[in-house]
Structure 1
Amino acid sequence: MSVGQLFADSRRFIIPFYQRPYSWTVEEASQLLEDVANAAGIDDGQVLESDYFLGAILLLNIPAPPVGENVPASHDFEIVDGQQRLVTLVILACALRDLEASPGTELARRLDALARPQADPGASRIVLLGDDWNFVNDYIVAPGGCLRPVAHTGTLDSAQRAIIDARNCLIRNLSEFTAAQRAALCNYICDSCHFVVVTTTDIDRAHRIFMVLNDRGRPLQKKDILKAEILRSVEPEYRDQAFALWRDVEARLGDQMEAFLSHLRSAAGYHRLQVIAGVRRIVRESGSARGFLLDVFRPLADAYAMILSARDAEADIPAELRRVLVGLTRLSGSEWVPAALRVLGRDLRPAQASEYLEEIERAAFLMRLVCLGSGKRQTRFAKITSLLSQPDLPALESLYEPTREEQRSISFNLRDLHARNVQACKGLLLRLNDELQPEALFASPTDYTIEHVLPQRPKASSLWRQWFSDTEERMALTASFGNLVLVSHEHNDGAGNDEYHRKKQVYAKPTSRQLQLAITSEFLSSEEWRPEHIREREAALFALLNKIWRLELEPASIDEAVA
């Protein structure tokens, strides 16, 4: 059933008392908008998916009570499963409506009909219990409600705060669309977004269905659907071979099979499509299911298995590939994986593959030093993946080069990288340690923490205050990249805000589990830790970064750093 059909006539959807309050985060609400907008082809004007599936919802059909002659009848359903999605869709519809320049247009009326039954404009499609109903009506459902500022936000409960956060996020994101894009999105939501709607009239039966859908029943995963479709399409004489190939890949990838199919789709340039739709298109382009399995699925699965096993010292991986793959797998995101699959899926010599992987690593790290979000990183990497998908490999330097603005951002962010992106900061220190100490390649990010040698809050009577008597200079140098080291959690707890000589003793003490990293031990020979020592170390680390990633970083002067 399409959203337009579901939110039609006099239907109302009541959130019963036993449901948890609305709790979707800003990330979940924006992800819903992003997914639907991508399926609708909002960016390029070409619909990527003629139908978009929003999942199943379970409704309890409530018999309508007798009504008076002039009272509009409503058809009420209790939401047993699907509350978060339905509420978010109503918020999205109201946000689109309130951004319309002309409230009386057909588009505005269509959006308003998603939020309010037209026979009773005083009602709402979604009925919350208690005070929440008035709140949602005032700040969401009523025309203009999404643009109304909320007074006394400190008094909101968690559900009200989540609703307002989702509203504000959607308004902010939709404001970046043109009016034509918002109109296209509205029509796509109404006509092309669908739910599987399960209804029942018995509350006990509704709860039994709910338990089966959400607890005992094993949900059908993307890999199950694709496996059935693809293997069924293989010619009968090759089907045993195809089954064996798929089983082998499943055994090697384990619970990462779903992630692999997502990366496979992106490696083919279909990151905006849903996984199943994207893989189906790749199968069609391969000419046959068997061709897909042999020419696409198997080589990319082999490549992904290599990525997953990079930190396994027993895995048979060429040394030059292992170093880069370990560095990449330390990163928190995975937007780089499709590009790496394109490199590893080719029949390249390890040395040549390593050169391209190093460019991918460079791009992944520099995007993090620019502090790009995951969505923007994915977009940039989609272009890199496209270049690597061509029959002839592109020039190495053509894969990624930061813009002038991004280079300035890198220099700026490195002045206080720990505060701006702590994960990128730790990853960068480990990457530099790989250059200084190759034998520590398998050092795990979870085993180490970032320590400021010059403490962030030194005691007023400490020697630190004498060495760094200028407050602004001390604060700038505390944040300096040259003041950061990686130590074990045990060492971090032991060093605290102690004097330098005491910190040196703690850092030098061996631990039973972690290696002492060169990025830390190299500075222990210094008897003091004054401003000039931090500047010298920052200059040395920047010189190393310039060497491995073709940068032109220069240590910032203190005047620049405190500006």
Structure 2
Amino acid sequence: MNDLSQLRIEAAHKKISEVFSKDYAFTIPAYQRPYAWETTQVEELLTDLTEAMGPASKSDGFYFLGSIVLVKKHGSPNARVVDGQQRLTTLTILFSVIRDLTEDTVKRVSREKYIKQVANEDEGIPEALRLLLRQKDQAYFEKHVQMIGATNDLPVKDGLSGAKARIIENARTIRNKLEEMGEEKRSELLKFLLQNCYLVVVEVPTPTAARRIFTVLNARGMDLSATDILKADLLERAGEHKEDNLSQRWEDIEISLERGKFSDLFTHVRMIFERDKPRTSLENGFPVQVPVFRDDPLSFMDTVLEPFADVFLLSMDDVELRNRFGHKTADLVRSLNRLDNKDWLPPLLLCLQQSNKGDNVDVAEFVFQLERLAYYLFMVRADVNVRMNRYADVLDVLEPPVDRKPRAGAKERSTGLELTETEVFALFNALDGDVYLATRVVKPLLLRLEQASHDGSANYDFPTISVEHVCPQTLEEGSQWAEWYSDAEDHSYWLHSIGNLVLLNFRKNSAARNYDFEKKKTKYFAPGDTSPFTLTNEVREFESWTPEDIEGRRKELLKRLAKAWGLKDAFKKWWKSE
């Protein structure tokens, strides 16, 4: 039976002198985000404090610094910070700078006690720092802030990032402000801060209660992401004895992927396990759909998070993809990345993960079929539900479900990676339409066509790539274009088609769009005598650009795509039907 005295929640307003005392030994849990206050927030705090202690202040002689939430059992100083890390860290920097600027040696040593607990053998109190940051940041924080004299010689910020950069930047800001004050003014500030500034301290006795408060605070607007909440959940399930190890491994992955991609990874992993469109938030659905996360945190790290992070990084590493699977596979992954969605990524990650495990999977063939399927869904503008159901079927092909119930709302199974004849016809109908008007489609499509038009040795990482009409949209009276396209219906029919479009590696020039064909070829399409794009150079070989020329060009380009996607026979049937 629980001891009710250990379950109570305490809340009280306390002076800063009471907070930075032997009653509290603060630690920042591993699940917390790094120290992140910007200099503007530090400057605002210093301004508020100096104004509040002034004679014209309307604060009635005290200043409220907000609240902090701690996991702390009654009678023990050990306090894990659930909320309040930013303020406690900034106050520690402030105390450290005041200490190091103190001219009187005796006072300087005395002021050390706000940063470090002085040992008292008679009372059984050991020497200890008042605040310990996350394990990853603590050594740096102690060396450059908490050690006596550390802020007298702050390192340069160049080359630093994250919490380290914020620590140094804010320490320098505080030091510059306090140096301007002079000794007497700094002593007044310290006295005011200790005796007239207050925090509301909420003490929660158990990690479970802390987890609930942590989640509630997030719902109330704390700047936490779904992965922050999942991290807290995982570490709580793992227990304190595994917390440091798992937290360090988690953060190593987060740093390697960066925060946005790290969140994307969880979305992709959830899809690999759930194989359906998510119907709950990531933080709520992930523990349900990925049972190992809930049941065995260490196994989750070993068998899920780290392996899938490795292949996620691999999927973005063009050089390594070429080394392991050949240039064609790397080019196809690059082609996939041009699409306006990433729904294809979970199947790719599962395939690469199986390859890394040593499973018998043909990565090159899988990527070839996946890219073809992705472009079919892209060209026909399949909605997200259709895409996710189709990719779920692909996942089932890669890793057949064991005792899996039919997906909610799932209809008849698709052909997975394979395209039916009906789907191939739909693909070529889309390719044969006014592709220029599909603004999110046209550039990836032409770059895919460009890729199918050479041996794979060229890359197109230009800062600017634009799409241009060969026959212009506006026909000037008396021009060569007006003569070739005297029939307005011909002009309208061919204008936005795949056969009338080329790529440029610079921004379009509106003044050049109506050049006659010969001038456009030499002065606009290839101002330096050549174009880096095969498609554009091929157009330069034409003597004329009539409707008949575009029609022939259109068939050639469609045949080229059919060959690239292994659809030559189906294309012939489609062409006959058209």
TM-score (norm 2): 0.53
Give distance in 2, aligned partners of 1:541 and 1:423.
20
2:540 to 524, 535, 540: 524
Specify the alignment match of 1:278 in structure 2. Answer: 285
Write the deviation string for residues 452-479 of structure 1: whole angstroms up to 9, x where unpaired. 1111222121111222333222322223
Gaps of 5+ in 1: 1-212
1:336 to 332, 336, 344: 344
Give distance in 2, aligned partners of 1:496 and 1:556.
34
Give distance in 1, aligned partners of 2:444 and 2:225.
33
Superposition deviation, residue 282 in structure 1: 4.5
2:531 is the counterpart of 1:488: no
Give distance in 1, aligned partners of 2:434 and 2:301.
44
Contact 1:454–1:529 (CA under 8 A) maintained in structure 2: yes
Where 1:508 maps in the other structure, the secondary structure is: coil
1:246 to 242, 245, 250: 250
Specify the alignment match of 2:112 in structure 1. Answer: none
How many residues in Structure 1 have an aligned counterpart in Structure 2? 342
2:559 is the counterpart of 1:543: yes
1:262 to 262, 267, 275: 267
2:311 to 303, 312, 322: 303
Gaps of 5+ in 2: 1-216, 403-413
User: Percent identical across equivalent pairs?
Assistant: 27
Contact 1:491–1:507 (CA under 8 A) maintained in structure 2: no
Write the deviation string for residues 241-278 of structure 1: whole angstroms up to 9, x where unpaired. 42232121101111221121111111212542432233
**Equivalent AA in structure 2 for residue 263 of structure 1:** H
**Equivalent AA in structure 2 for residue 411 of structure 1:** F
Give distance in 2, aligned partners of 1:545 and 1:302.
32
Contact 1:451–1:492 (CA under 8 A) maintained in structure 2: no
**Equivalent AA in structure 1 for residue 263 of structure 2:** E
Give distance in 2, aligned partners of 1:522 and 1:367.
29
Alignment of 1:446-525 (within 5 A): 447-493=464-510, 495-505=512-522, 506-510=524-528, 516-525=532-541
**Equivalent AA in structure 2 for residue 227 of structure 1:** K
Specify the alignment match of 1:288 in structure 2. Answer: 296
Write the deviation string for residues 368-416 of structure 1: whole angstroms up to 9, x where unpaired. 2112123322232222223223389xxxx95333445443433332233
Contact 1:542–1:555 (CA under 8 A) maintained in structure 2: no
2:233 is the counterpart of 1:229: yes
Contact 1:542–1:554 (CA under 8 A) maintained in structure 2: no
Give distance in 1, aligned partners of 2:372 and 2:519.
37
Superposition deviation, residue 419 in structure 1: 4.4
Superposition deviation, residue 224 in structure 1: 0.7
User: Cα RMSD over matched residues?
Assistant: 3.7
Give distance in 2, aligned partners of 1:381 and 1:362.
13
**Equivalent AA in structure 2 for residue 221 of structure 1:** S
Where 2:466 maps in the other structure, the secondary structure is: strand
Superposition deviation, residue 235 in structure 1: 6.2
TM-score (norm 1): 0.54
2:331 is the counterpart of 1:323: yes
Distance 1:386 1:421, change over 3 A: farther
Give distance in 2, aligned partners of 1:239 and 1:315.
37
Give distance in 1, aligned partners of 2:393 and 2:276.
12
Contact 1:539–1:554 (CA under 8 A) maintained in structure 2: no
Distance 1:351 1:233, change over 3 A: closer
Write the deviation string for residues 280-339 of structure 1: whole angstroms up to 9, x where unpaired. 134424651111111111111112122334499999985344212211111111111111
Superposition deviation, residue 351 in structure 1: 8.7
Write the deviation string for residues 476-527 of structure 1: whole angstroms up to 9, x where unpaired. 222321111111343554531221011101111139xx97211211221122
Give distance in 2, aligned partners of 1:232 and 1:320.
45
Alignment of 1:22-61 (within 5 A): none
Superposition deviation, residue 443 in structure 1: 3.0
2:371 is the counterpart of 1:361: yes
Contact 1:336–1:364 (CA under 8 A) maintained in structure 2: yes
**Equivalent AA in structure 2 for residue 389 of structure 1:** E
Give distance in 2, aligned partners of 1:300 and 1:413.
35
Contact 2:453–2:560 (CA under 8 A) maintained in structure 1: no
Specify the alignment match of 1:387 in structure 2. Answer: 397
Where 1:440 maps in the other structure, the secondary structure is: coil
Contact 1:320–1:351 (CA under 8 A) maintained in structure 2: no
Give distance in 1, aligned partners of 2:320 and 2:339.
17
Contact 1:339–1:381 (CA under 8 A) maintained in structure 2: yes
Distance 1:317 1:415, change over 3 A: closer
Contact 1:306–1:317 (CA under 8 A) maintained in structure 2: no
Contact 1:495–1:502 (CA under 8 A) maintained in structure 2: no
Write the deviation string for residues 123-143 of structure 1: whole angstroms up to 9, x where unpaired. xxxxxxxxxxxxxxxxxxxxx
**Equivalent AA in structure 1 for residue 383 of structure 2:** G
